[in-house]
Structure 1
């Protein structure tokens, strides 16, 4: 399964996996507004055997089949870790 991955200019560590047959403009208005301007990261061939850094490949593929996209949000870090990450 081929997909295109974009990162958000507006939101740090937020990525959008988009099914090969869709364009960013095909997405719901609310999602486009929330995501902001898309920046192309890469085109990727997904397979069940492939590991993704922060997402379960089966869930991503299922979302791409069902709705045409998968929105990857930033990980939720404990407050102490977030402070250390930002100010270290």
Structure 2
């Protein structure tokens, strides 16, 4: 199944993206989420298929969530320093 998809970036959070069906736009995205996301900045429009390769998401899952919820929210990856701090804390707990 193909979907013409708009991808928006958040002006508030680096590397946070919102995927929506181009025909619906952000109409089905909850107001509270849009408030936290900030004014969506259009990044790109693309044809999304289950087989398409995406950098940090599985296309089939993105399509499924767009159909079910009206959007897919891609969160930023955890920062390297945050992961190091978590690993350090975990190693201290195991001693």
TM-score normalised to structure 2 length: 0.77
Gaps in structure 1 of 5+ consecutive residues: 83-88
The corresponding residue for 1:85 is none
Gaps in structure 2 of 5+ consecutive residues: 85-95
Pick one of 21, 24, 27 that aligns with 2:23: 21
Count residues with an aligned counterpart. 82
Could you tell me how far 1:54 is from its partner in structure 2?
Answer: 0.7
Could you tell me how far 1:25 is from its partner in structure 2?
Answer: 4.7
CA distance in 2, matches of 1:61, 1:53: 15
Deviations along 1:32-63, one digit per CA (max 9) or x if unpaired, are 01100111101010112210001111110100
The corresponding residue for 2:35 is 33
TM-score normalised to structure 1 length: 0.82
Extract structure 1 runs of 4+ deviating beyond 6 A: none
